[in-house]
Amino acid sequence: MPRIRLHLLLLLGASLACAPAARVSPPAIPDRTAVSFPETWRFPSGVRASFARNAMIASNDRLASEAGIDILRQGGNAVDAAVAVGFALVVTHPEAGNLGGGGYMVIRLADGGTAALDYREMAPIAATRDMYLDDSGNVTDRSVEGYLASGVPGAVAGMAAALERYGTMTLAQVIAPALRLAEQGFVVDSNLHASIRGDRRLIGRFAGAPVFLPGGEPPPVGSTLRQPTLARTLRLIAAQGPDVFYRGEIADSIVAEMQRGGGIMTRADLAGYRAAWREPIRSTYRGYTLLTMPPSSSGGVTITETLNILETFSALPQFGTAAWFHRLASAYQRAFIDRNAKLGDPDFVDVPVAELTSKAYARSLAATIEPGRATPTSELTTTGSGGAEGMHTTHFSVVDAEGNAVATTTTINSLYGSGVYIPGAGFFMNNEMDDFAAKPGVPNQFGLVQGEQNAIAPRKRMLSAMSPTIVLDSAGQLLLIAGARGGPRIITGTSQVILNVIDHRMTLADAMSAPRIHHQALPDELRFEEGGLAATTQTALRLLGYTLDENPGGIGTVMGVMRVRGGWEGFVDPRSYGGAVGY
């Protein structure tokens, strides 16, 4: 009997054994409710998501999702497929897919086992607390662009660790689709073309120019992009494993380019990198269970704290009303104050995860929310807090036919990271050092104000907002796999999709298409997506005391997979592009 069916029978058996005779168990998949969005909103409601009976993958690139489905069809499980998607994105989605960055993975196996993998970058050994300050103590842009901006990459170690512990295939097998795409090339679409064009100044400064700007221009739409150097790197990793990246030939290439450009990353940095297995944060929300990412990401703690605050209210106001957005913004504001001041790398600082995610603490915070007034952030804290405006990251959600689920978010931070491209190995390096507090208490160029907990130290991981999350329904069955890109808006974007599914009973497509808001404590304003709030709702929020910021940018871009009757739906955030592919 397939493992998933056995699992369902066991669950059914357990619930029958415990349930009083007359009790009717809640439907595993409650009916969805139709929703209407403001007339000014750019995405329609009622759109159909992709559907498949057995398995589903949603990622920022259709070819990468197909690579994962290929692996599933060959008999691989969701972890094999997730690793294949991760490698394929390096080739087809170079703005964010990466070997030169890092990320997080939350796994929930069909047998109920769970795991969280932290493969976030680490600061180089030679990093110092004030390395990005000039002589006058002002923050420079060296954490954003160029050779000093990179943390030690964790992606290869992370993907290899996930595969080793939970996969069933070899690295060579799961790398094969990416290798094919790098070697034989793939057709450049308008998204990739526009992305390269948008960052031609940055790319043009470093060694990636001949690959991505041949003759000074992005490869034309419809042309075939081949990456032979990257193909060689992928072949080396497939044959020799992560060691070749951290101690072998690829390490040599990274260090050579770093030395050439005045960077500080050494062979000892690469040899010393370790991915870390952690316990996922397991929380409940209105009978559902959330499995999400603990520090060094702030994502799981901040989402859990927000949802715990909201859960203290027995019923939530209707979607789209000022009362709903007031409740939501107030919860985010309080959770972000803690996020910015109290979270950091748990291997370096004490992080009060248990307290911040406790129901009792949420009740004390909820008690400070007044129904008729927005609370100024200055009344809630004396320390500054804010949020970063990162540029690029990529999330993918995977479920296989057994019901194993993987949520992965990975990034090189901004689009094309630091811009630095390793010419001997064919990939971009991250600019993740900018996620540290370069100067605690002082906003960086993106408005981020974080605390001492996230100050720079050698070998420390910089705080992240990445929030790969898996939701189980009230019967303990897998319901939703989600995560996003968007800097701190990863947290608000991902959690609003979850709330839209649980509280507002939306379909996956509606939950992801619905207009979103963002509040990160400081700047003390409620950001909303252009056209996303009805004029009457805006007026009511202003009367409550909010400063509104109508922003043309999206609030996170989510990749979601959800169980529905008879199979799985997958949906790519309409704010972004990609492919939801199943079978």
**Active-site residue set:** 393
Show the DSSP H helices in 447-559 as ranges: 489-502, 508-513, 535-544
Judging by DSSP bridges, how do beta strands 526-529 and 548-551 pair with one another? parallel
Closest CA to 231 of 92, 395, 394: 92
- According to CB under 6 A, which one of 108, 339, 392, 563 is a site residue for ligand DON? 392
Distance (Å, rounded) from C-alpha 25 to C-alpha 562? 20
Q: Residue 487 CB, nearest distance to ligand DON (Å)? A: 5
13/553 with CB nearer ligand DON: 553
Could you give the CA distance from residue 526 to residue 540 in angstroms, rounded to a whole number? 13
Q: Which is nearer to ligand DON, 151 or 570 (CB)?
A: 151
Q: How far is CA 514 from the centre of its chain?
A: 19
CB of residue 392 to ligand DON, shortest distance in Å:
5
Q: Is 393 in the site for ligand DON (CB under 6 A)?
A: yes
Question: Residue for token digits 């910089």?
Answer: 462
Show Cβ contacts of residue 539 under 8 Å, excluding neighbours closer than 6 positions: none
For 391, the token pair is 């540029």
- 431 scored as a contact of ligand DON (CB under 6 A): no
Of 150, 411, 474, 500, the one binding ligand DON (CB under 6 A) is 411
The string over 487-503, giving b where at least 16 C-beta atoms fall within 10 Å of a residue's C-beta and e elsewhere, is bbbbbbbbbbbbbbbbb
CB of 494 to ligand DON, least distance (A): 11
Kindly write out the interface string for residues 455-494 of this chain, putting x where it contacts ligand DON by CB under 6 A and - elsewhere: ---------xxx------------------xxx--x----
For residues 291 and 304, give the distance between their C-alpha atoms in angstroms, rounded to a whole number.
Answer: 10
Residue among 52 and 148 whose Cβ is closer to ligand DON: 148
| Alpha helices per DSSP H over 121-170 | 155-166
Q: Are strands 102-108 and 114-119 parallel, antiparallel or unpaired?
A: antiparallel
Nearer to ligand DON, 468 or 487 (CB): 487
Residues 293 to 332: which contact ligand DON by CB under 6 A? none
Site stretch for ligand DON (CB under 6 A), options 136-144, 213-221, 334-342, 388-396:
388-396
Nearer to ligand DON, 330 or 393 (CB): 393
Least distance in Å: CB of 413 to ligand DON? 4
Those residues whose C-beta lies under 8 Å from the C-beta of residue 296, and which sit 6 or more positions away, are 118, 120, 344, 345, 346, 347, 461, 462, 463, 464
Among 390, 440, 554, 582, binds ligand DON (CB under 6 A): 390
Q: Is 391 in the site for ligand DON (CB under 6 A)?
A: yes
Nearer to ligand DON, 467 or 507 (CB): 467
Question: How many distinct helices (H) and strands (E) make up the chain?
Answer: 20, 22
Measured from the Cβ of residue 373, the count of other Cβ atoms closer than 10 Å reads 13
| 94 alpha-carbon distance from chain centroid | 16
Contact 502, 473 (CB under 8 A): no
Output 117 or 316, the one with its CB closest to ligand DON: 117
Nearer to ligand DON, 453 or 464 (CB): 464
Task: Name the residue whose CB lies closest to ligand DON.
Answer: 390
Q: Give me the phi and psi of 28, to 5 degrees please.
A: -60, -40
Q: Does 537 bind ligand DON (CB under 6 A)?
A: no
Contact between 413 and ligand DON by CB under 6 A: the answer reads: yes
Q: Does 193 bind ligand DON (CB under 6 A)?
A: no
CB 265 within 8 A of CB 125: no
109 lies in the site for ligand DON, by CB under 6 A: no
Tokens of residue 415, six digits: 């689009």
410 binds ligand DON (CB under 6 A): no
3-state secondary structure 503-534: CCCCCHHHHHHCCCEECCCCCCCEEEECCCCC
386 is a contact residue toward ligand DON (CB under 6 A) = no
Q: At its nearest, how many Å lie between ligand DON and the CB of residue 524?
A: 21
User: Which range of residues in 311-319, 352-360, 387-395, 535-543 is near ligand DON by CB under 6 A?
Assistant: 387-395
Least distance in angstroms from the C-beta of 18 to ligand DON: 41
* Residue 435 touching ligand DON (CB under 6 A): yes
The span of 108-116, 338-346, 366-374, 384-392 binding ligand DON (CB under 6 A) equals 384-392
The answer to whether residues 582 and 533 touch, using CB atoms and an 8 Å cutoff, is no
Does residue 60 bind ligand DON (CB under 6 A)?
no
As a three-state string, the secondary structure of 184-223 is HCEECCHHHHHHHHHCHHHHHHCCCHHHHCHHHCCCCCCC
CB of 296 to ligand DON, least distance (A): 9
Residue nearer to ligand DON on the CB measure, 84 or 465: 465
Least CB distance to ligand DON at residue 393 (A)? 3
CB of 345 to ligand DON, least distance (A): 12
Q: Which is nearer to ligand DON, 219 or 299 (CB)?
A: 299
Residue 471: enclosing H or E segment and its boundaries?
Answer: strand 469-472
Total number of residues that touch ligand DON (CB under 6 A): 15
The residues binding ligand DON (CB under 6 A) are 390-393, 411, 413, 432, 435, 464-466, 485-487, 490
